[in-house]
Chains A and B, each alone.
Chain A
Amino acid sequence: MTHDEILAKLHAKFGETFTTSEFRDNRRIIVPAERVYAVLEFLKEQCGFDMLVELGGADYLHYPHATDRYGVWYVLVNTTTGVRLIVKTFTNDPEPTLPSVFALWKGADWMEREVYDMYGVVFDGHPDLRRILLPDEFTAFPLRKDYPMRGRGERHNFPVITRPES
């Protein structure tokens, strides 16, 4: 099944609710957040995309011509035919939320946790959504563009051990 056939199936199923873009051999479809789970489920069940290669996020604050703040993309592969497809969606403040795709691909577990860790995007339905890289007591989401690069004092918030104490 080629990209064009997949797009035709998607159009037949979902109408014109999504847009497409292309860069070199990357084929992308941009789906609104409320349809993204249905589209991904359709792609997995009907189009054979049985592998989620990557789930990543980005903050488009101050980005030129950006209309939404948080972008999340899903890179899918059909391991039978080798076809790749990128599904992209956006979400916004104050409570950026997306449906979890853990039920479709178990590999989404840690990737969704990382996106939550860095951007604060909450994945509804994730079985164990907590921080994965940063310490549990960290309160900010450091890859957001409005987070200062030097942090808000987290790197200095430790007890000082002196010679007599140690």
Chain B
Amino acid sequence: MALAGVSESVMVTQLDKLANWVRKNSLWPMPFATACCGIELMATGASRHDIARFGAEAMRFSPRQCDLMIVAGRIAMKMLPVLQRIWLQMPEPKWCISMGACASSGGVFDTYAVVQGIDRFIPVDVYVPGCPPRPEQLLRSVLDLQEKIQRTGTLMGKEFQEQRLWPHPPRPLAIELPPAEEIVAPGDFTSATRLQADGRP
């Protein structure tokens, strides 16, 4: 295919662009909807907001047929192995949108059972703030992801070879409290709910 006077790399670059253009306009979302963000995700797919305008309307409930995982809702620590398994089952190239406060950071559910952000355990491309986000915000994230695919994508998926996660164990959140700080039942229902320094409620 090499043209006279044109080096090989130019050809590859143009193929990358073609591949990116094809990929970004036919995203197949895997709706991993576990909470109320899933309702907004459904609204995004419905006729009023119509995610089909951006070519991402083909929601499939099999990870084998999807290339975009939309994690919509809080992820409990019992659900995270399922999430990771589904992520691993999706074929390359694949992307991930973390939709809403809970998926991105745990949200208000700062408890033992809820994962404090899925990006601690799987790679995430675009975060959507909101609780839950409006469908417009999710559409915006799809547009952002399309731009990201167009700018960074390669035909052979070289952009996925780089390390995008923090390479060390998850850093503790700034608000992380030591386990010694225990939450107890309210003492006389007028005092604070945390233990005092001497261990008394």
Interface residues of A (CB under 8 A from B): 59-64, 134-135, 142, 145-156, 158-164, 166
Evaluate contact between A162 and B183: CB separation under 8 angstroms.
no
With the chains together, A62 CA to B187 CA distance in Å? 6
A38 to chain B, nearest CB (A): 31
**B163 close to A (CB within 8 Å):** yes
Q: Which residues of B contact A151 (CB under 8 A)?
A: 111-113, 179
B158 to chain A, nearest CB (A): 11
Q: How many CB-defined contacts (below 8 Å) exist between A and B?
A: 102
Q: Which residues of B contact A166 (CB under 8 A)?
A: 87-88, 94, 122-123
Evaluate contact between B112 and A150: CB separation under 8 angstroms.
yes
Q: Which residues of B contact A146 (CB under 8 A)?
A: 182, 184
- Could you tell me how many residues of chain B have their Cβ less than 8 Å away from some Cβ of chain A? 40
Q: Which residues of B contact A64 (CB under 8 A)?
A: 187-188
Ordered by A's residue number, 29 sampled pairs between the chains whose C-beta atoms are within 8 Å are A59-B185, A61-B184, A63-B185, A134-B113, A145-B182, A148-B112, A148-B179, A148-B182, A149-B110, A149-B111, A149-B183, A151-B112, A151-B179, A152-B112, A154-B112, A154-B113, A155-B115, A156-B169, A156-B170, A159-B84, A159-B121, A160-B165, A161-B84, A161-B121, A162-B165, A163-B163, A163-B165, A164-B163, A166-B122
Evaluate contact between A160 and B160: CB separation under 8 angstroms.
no
**B146 close to A (CB within 8 Å):** no
Evaluate contact between A62 and B77: CB separation under 8 angstroms.
no
Evaluate contact between B165 and A142: CB separation under 8 angstroms.
no
Q: Which residues of B contact A150 (CB under 8 A)?
A: 110-112, 176-177, 179
